[in-house]
Structure 1
Amino acid sequence: MNYSVDNNVSSSALRKRKILKKSINFSVMIVGESGSGRSTLINTLCGGNSIVPTSSTRNEDPFTKKLHLRHENVELEDNDGHKISFNIIDTPNFANQINCGEDFRIIVDFIRHQFDEVLLEESRVKRNPRFKDGRIHVLIYLVNPTGHGLSEIDVKFLKHVNNLVNIIPVIAKADSLTRDELQLNKQLILEDLNNYEINYYRFNEYEYEKEYIDDEIIEYNKYLNSLLPFAIIGANEYKKNTHLGQHSKNGETNHPNVANDDDDDDEEDDDDAEDIIKLRVLNKDLKPINVDNPDINDFTILKNVLLITHLNEFKDITHDQIYENYRTEALSGKQFQYMNNNNSDDGSYNTYNSSAHNIAAGESQYGNGSIVNTNGNGTNGSHHRHNNSHGSHFDRSINGNGTDAGSTAGGGGGQSDYLLKEEQIKLEEERLKKFEERVHQDLITKRQELLERENELKEIEKRLLAEGLKLNEHGEVVKVEE
């Protein structure tokens, strides 16, 4: 029989249908202290109440709860029919303890583990076609609206995840600040990010993409950069807007962002889907606020950035830059940031550069400094930076007397460099040993699963034979021929 391609089923339509059938995997981690609005943000992003806020659980003392990672997957679809498998990793009870170092380690280990899983899968002779990439493409960090910039915990945590993920700083519960306070807080946060050399995400400042963008995209990215850090107001409740008036910039009522609570008006507009607008109720005495209004809330812009305009860019940067740097360091036996197993209570850690040449030249492969842990008489958790002739910044370990262990000045410089290399090699050997142990354990687990499955099949065959049945070569149950 001859088949012809007609107008209804063209080859391009089939290709499009195949592309649309395959969903895009996109993972976002949301980190913030308890009460910062993580659950509300997740529910607003997902368009439903899929996450129960941890603050609603009042049976336990919140300060005794420990951090655990909570996973949520939502299938989204845009107007063109493209499906997005939206993976969200929530971090309830983050920074509840006095010692936050353990919380930092849990999150960093999780991010690194996703890289290790991909690296392990790449090294297999026969890869798993159903392997799920769990790498985090974006980390949204919620900053409390204190009006004083970043806190000490904010700085230390962001230092830990620096260069491991695309960081987007967000001011949570922005409705608690006035416009002037909000602008000042944004300015202070950006100053802290730059002063502590935290590599937050800047829109389209990556060299390999400049030749592919036009003037309109450049202007849009400049606009997005001017909004950083984004200021958001989450919403868990939906109200119906029945009056179309002008929006008042001072947040007063009698504008389309305020819901009308009159029951009669609600009954009149029950069939008007266009009148339903997401509104956040601040409290019982105040009118609800429309979180989709870009004049008072950056949430819509943030959602579009995550799921529409910059989704592919986040994925490309994660794979082409962040993961490639991690992979190069792992396979070459070098490491750009190693979290000491004996971290101090404040979560500080030692940083080692990838080679002695980089230290001498003042070059950092990842372009950002790190918090330096001092031992002995040095100041614990101080930020020690050096500038080279090219103006780049990098950190060095501090020895017991508070002096620069990487300095070549004086008679002890060579010995310090040698000890630094020796310690770096030792730490890397420990890390590789743990990696090998995990791979070995995975192989043992898979072997046990196969043996259990084989035993199950044997038991099934025995039962079938007892009943006069058997499995054919296609796995179908048939009667035994006499």
Structure 2
Amino acid sequence: MSLQPTTTINDYVGFDTVSKQMERKFLKRGLNFNVILVGESGMGKTTLVNTIFAGHLVDSNGRKAAQEQPRKTTEIVPTTQVIEENGVRLKLTIVDTPGFGDQTNNEGCWIPVIKYIKDQHAAYLERELKPQRERSINDSRVHACLYFLNPGSRSLRPIDIEVLRRLTEVVNVIPILSKSDSISLAERAVIKKRIKEELAQHRINLYPYPSEEDLDEDTAMNAHIKELIPFAVVGSENVFTENGVTIRGRRHAWGTINVDDEEHCDFVHLRDFILRTHMYDLIEITAQRHYETFRTQQLRQIKELRAAQAQAQGIAQPMQSQPMIQKQQV
């Protein structure tokens, strides 16, 4: 005789709560986000970063007064701070680099930047290949490169083309037309159009990249971003009152620039792009695209080196527990 159930089975299983479980783990662990600033001196790189993150995250090397000479970054300087917003903890690293393009001889000026990016990949790979890996590997890989273009150049210079080609091979590059309040709106439109054409002509592949996994809304969003690139921005840490409203901006003889006004510049679009819509994608693409390419190359080189050593000695070499990752040559 078969037993009949006396109660109704609830069809709800509960695995749809996995997103909340992941969110709790994610919030507890926190997030690493690393940004490198590249461009010539005097383009307001650190000022813009401080504007984006609404605080003095990086000490500005620029002029404190109009009569001062511009100060220049002379070496690669990473600055790390932990910031928290609504329970989300972000370990933010801003890497300032020496300005280039304004020297008499700019040959190889990109080498220290490329080497720094690859060295972070190498450090991560070395920690990843340890016999006893850390439970959570500190991620120092560069997730985004803000590349600053001089609006006074009116187009891409040969040095910009060369550096952008090399940078896009190892990092997600976001081009920025800095200090855009120095040109009129009509000039800005012409310059942006010319730069877009030059980027396409030289086949410089900028972030965001097309993906078959993108949803329709992602594709539309990325198309909008592509239209805005390069972002024409104005950075300012000055806060003042204009017509009874507190704003961040810059005062000129002809009027006031409000950096948070979409009609004045693309700052809001850039901030939302980096922080509110694409931050996690920047981190994920770094791991899946740039780091994976580096990792594959390194492991292939290690395998070829061991095979050559074994062949030279006439014996099979045992696998070492921790391969030595070579310092990067650019």
With normalisation by structure 2, the TM-score equals 0.78
Distance in 1, Cα, partners of 2:111 & 2:133: 30
SS in 2 for 1:239: strand
Task: Provide the residue aligned with 1:146 in structure 2.
Answer: 152
Matches within 5 A, 1:411-426: none
Contact (CA 8 Å) 1:70, 1:90: kept in 2 or not? yes
Distance in 1, Cα, partners of 2:177 & 2:60: 18
SS in 1 for 2:148: strand
For structure 1, the 5+ residue unaligned runs are 1-9, 241-258, 266-274, 335-432, 439-482
Q: 1:135 to 1:174 in 2, by over 3 A?
A: same
Distance in 1, Cα, partners of 2:173 & 2:25: 33
Partner of residue 277 from structure 1, selected from 234, 247, 254: 247
Matches within 5 A, 1:214-293: 215-240=216-241, 259-260=242-243, 275-278=245-248, 280-283=249-252, 285-293=253-261
Q: Which has more radius of gyration? A: 1
Equivalent AA in structure 1 for residue 273 of structure 2: V
Partner of residue 132 from structure 2, selected from 126, 134, 152: 126
Distance in 2, Cα, partners of 1:104 & 1:60: 28
- Post-superposition offset of 1:289: 1.7
Distance in 2, Cα, partners of 1:237 & 1:141: 23
After superposition, the CA RMSD in angstroms is 3.1
Identity of aligned residues (%): 31
Contact (CA 8 Å) 1:147, 1:182: kept in 2 or not? no
Name the count of aligned residue pairs. 291
Distance in 1, Cα, partners of 2:22 & 2:219: 31
Distance in 1, Cα, partners of 2:272 & 2:73: 33
Contact (CA 8 Å) 1:46, 1:74: kept in 2 or not? no
Equivalent AA in structure 1 for residue 183 of structure 2: L
- Post-superposition offset of 1:13: 8.0
Q: 1:12 to 1:28 in 2, by over 3 A?
A: closer
Q: 1:437 to 1:306 in 2, by over 3 A?
A: closer
Q: 1:238 to 1:327 in 2, by over 3 A?
A: same
Cα deviation, 1:440-459, whole Å, max 9, x if unaligned, reads: xxxxxxxxxxxxxxxxxxxx
Distance in 2, Cα, partners of 1:143 & 1:199: 16
Distance in 1, Cα, partners of 2:232 & 2:63: 24
Indicate yes or no: 2:263 matched with 1:308: no
Task: Provide the residue aligned with 1:319 in structure 2.
Answer: 287
Equivalent AA in structure 1 for residue 218 of structure 2: I
SS in 2 for 1:42: helix
Task: Provide the residue aligned with 1:67 in structure 2.
Answer: 74
For structure 2, the 5+ residue unaligned runs are 1-16, 303-322
Distance in 1, Cα, partners of 2:160 & 2:79: 24
Q: 1:290 to 1:197 in 2, by over 3 A?
A: same
Indicate yes or no: 2:193 matched with 1:192: no
Higher share in strand:
2
Distance in 2, Cα, partners of 1:84 & 1:321: 22
Q: 1:140 to 1:311 in 2, by over 3 A?
A: same
- Post-superposition offset of 1:121: 1.4
Q: Which has the higher contact order (CA 8 A, sep 6+)?
A: 2
Distance in 2, Cα, partners of 1:13 & 1:162: 35
Matches within 5 A, 1:5-404: 17-56=24-63, 67-79=74-86, 81-129=87-135, 131-146=137-152, 148-202=154-208, 205-207=210-212, 209-210=213-214, 213=215, 215-240=216-241, 259-260=242-243, 275-278=245-248, 280-283=249-252, 285-333=253-301
Contact (CA 8 Å) 1:62, 1:96: kept in 2 or not? no
Contact (CA 8 Å) 1:159, 1:198: kept in 2 or not? yes
- Post-superposition offset of 1:328: 1.3
